[in-house]
Structure 1
Amino acid sequence: MGEIASASELISLNGHHQHQPSEQKKNICVFQMPLHYPRFQKHDYEKMSEWKLDCLLKEYGLPLNLGDLNQKRKFAMGAFLWT
């Protein structure tokens, strides 16, 4: 799940910025891949602070309500490590 953006917020679709019509009242999920893939290694995630993990997950449109710090670390490693 990505961040929820209201219809009135600016969203990015296929690299083009568009405003949703104001008559649409639905919430939509938007995933926007940042320009660079994170280059952290397993030991980086194991010692990463919670605020930094939150920033990383938010940047990639991933959920922040994953539980405690260890659960966030496991999620980030599963999402970003290629092992």
Structure 2
Amino acid sequence: MPGLRPNGNSGSKSEQNYCFQMPLHYPRYKKKDYETMPEWKLDCLLKEYGLPVMGDLNDKRKFAMGAFLWPSQLE
């Protein structure tokens, strides 16, 4: 994300600080799962990994697919 330092912090106190956290299990969803996942579930998933929950539903879906799917799974 633009403006983030290597530790995940933006340096600005007015912005939320994010720091990637690796939970015990990596999500095993497929592209179709992300395309139909309700917004509340996407929010929970992104928060669980310490990732930003910003934008509309399409933005969140694209972000989650980019973060958790391998490039070969996006096709």
Structure of larger gyration radius: 1
Output the aligned Cα RMSD. 2.4
Structure 1 runs of 4+ with >4 Å offset = none
TM-fit CA distance, 1:56: 0.2
TM-fit CA distance, 1:32: 1.8
Q: Which residue of 2 aligns with 1:9?
A: none
TM-fit CA distance, 1:48: 0.2
Number of residue pairs the alignment of both structures matches? 60
Q: Show structure 1 runs of 5+ residues with no match.
A: 4-26
What pairs with 1:1-80 in structure 2 (closer than 5 Å)? 29-65=18-54, 67-80=55-68
Cα–Cα, structure 1 residues 63 and 36, in superposed 2: closer, same or farther, change >3 Å?
same
Higher helix share: 2
Q: Deviations over 1:7-45 (max 9, x none)?
A: xxxxxxxxxxxxxxxxxxxx8643321001000000000
Paired residue secondary structure (1:64): coil
